[in-house]
Each structure stands twice: as C-alpha cells, then as structure tokens.
Amino acid sequence: MKDIRLVMGNKNYSSWSLCPWLLLKMFDVEFEEIQIALYQDNTAEKLGPYSPSLKVPVLLHKEVTVWDSLAICEYVSEVILGGAGWPANPKRKANARSISAEIHSEFPALKKDWPMNCKVSFSLSPSEELADEISRIDAIWSCCRRRYGENGNYLYGRFSIADCMFAPVAVSFDAYGAELSSDAHAYLQALLDNPFVQKWITLGRREKEPLSIAYASNG
C-alpha cells in the first residue's frame, strides 16, 4: 500500500476529483487511486470508511485524512511538495490562492448548467447568468496570463494549484463551446494539451457508469 491514497469519483464527471489528481500527477508524486462510483445506491456506504463528509475527493496520507479538493491541494503543496504547488512570489501566490478559492466557491450557474462531462461535445448557449460567469473566468485567465505568465503556458508561467482548480472548467468550456477571448482561449488550449488532462478525459470517456451531474457530489 502506498503512503498516499486518493479517493475519487468517476473520471467522467467528478470534476473536483480531477484537481488533486492532476496536482499529484504533475509533480510526479506516487499515489494509489481508490475510485468509487458516484450516484449509486451504495455510494455512501463505500465512501464511509474514507470520507467524513461522504463526498469526494479525499486524501489519505499516513495517519492524516484531508477532504475537499482545495484543502487537499494545499496539504499536498505544504507537506509533500515543500510549497511548490503555489508560485514562489508572494504577490503571485496571493493572487493564485484568491482565484483558486473563487472558482471553488463561486460560479453556481457554471456548475449547474455546464457540469464536467468528458463524453459530450456540442455547442450550448449559456444563460445570462452563465454568460456573466464565463466573462469573469475569461477575465481571470486573460489577466493572469498577461501579468504573470511570461515563463510558461500556465496562469503563472509554471504549473500551479490554480491550474488544477481550473482544469475541470477547461473540460466543460471545450465540451459546451464557450466563446472566449484569444488570450483565454490560448490558456484553455494549454490545459487541454496537458498530457495528464488528456489522459483523464480519455479514461473518463471509457467509463461505463450512467451519465449524471457532477459538481454537487464533490468538494
């Protein structure tokens, strides 16, 4: 048994499970995946031994249990990566933490209307509320790339937790045909070109579980 275990949901639509999974993969951290199918009659029973909240994802590291995607990423950065999950510059780090918390806690229309689903690909016109949220995300991506992205293709140049938190959004934007500015679209493509994001999408498309709505069962 590996020291680090990540309890996660279906890759097809467990959007928040993608975030810590991607962080661990990008920093070459060995871990065991424990995948539990969501929206089944026995899902809560299977999650019980691992998750105090009965939600995914959950990280088990030796004697420590951490749940909630952003909390897991913070823990991994601090305890396992020596802080490398965030930009080193304090100003950039503060900004990265702010936008990560924002995507984690806000954007209800996105999470309701355009849930992550690796198997769909069609243009879906957004509601007025969702259009406003897309514009806000476009502004976040464009601003970060212009101000901080000089040393790479990600929001702060090199890969960080912020990119993990927006990876599910990129999958959704691509699936439903979000219209973005050129700067935001370039960043969207950088995330979609990430080999681990591509692997996640491929594995999600292969899953046989019934399709469902994702965000509500994650944290």
The edge-to-edge listing of strands for the beta sheet with 4-8 is 32-35, 4-8, 58-61, 64-67
Length of the chain counted residue by residue: 219
| Predicted TM-score of the model (pTM) | 0.92
CA distance 41 to 218: 17
Q: Looking at residue 48, what is its pLDDT?
A: 78
Q: Which pLDDT does position 216 carry in this prediction?
A: 33
Q: Do the beta carbons of residue 7 and residue 36 sit within 8 Å? A: yes
Question: Can you tell me the distance from the alpha carbon of 4 to that of 197, in angstroms, rounded to the nearest whole number?
Answer: 21
Start-to-end CA span in the chain (Å): 25
State the pLDDT at residue 1. 58
**Rounded distance, CA 13 to CA 38, Å?**
9
Domain coordinates of the chain in residue numbers? 4-84+207-217, 90-200
pLDDT in tens, the chain (219 residues): 579 999 998 999 899 999 999 999 999 999 999 998 887 778 888 887 887 787 899 999 999 999 999 999 999 999 999 999 999 999 999 999 999 999 999 999 999 999 999 998 888 899 999 999 999 999 999 999 999 999 999 999 999 999 999 999 999 999 999 999 999 999 999 999 999 999 999 999 998 855 443 333 345
List 6's β-bridge partners, or say none.
Answer: 33, 59
Sorted by sequence, the CB contacts under 8 Å of residue 181 that are 6+ apart come out as 138, 142
Instruction: Tell me which amino acid residue 154 is.
Output: Y
Residue bearing tokens 């949901």: 9
User: Are 130 and 109 in contact, with CB atoms under 8 Å apart?
Assistant: yes
**Residue 188 half-sphere exposure toward CB, CA atoms < 13 A:** 20
Q: At what angle do helices 195-206 and 161-176 cross, to 10 degrees?
A: 50
- Predicted pLDDT at 209: 58
What's the CATH number for 90-200?
A: 1.20.1050.10
Query: Are the CB atoms for 159 and 85 separated by under 8 Å?
Result: no
Q: Which helix (H) or strand (E) holds 128?
A: helix 128-148
Query: What's 4-84+207-217's CATH class?
Result: alpha beta
Nearest to 51 by CA among 17, 2, 81: 17
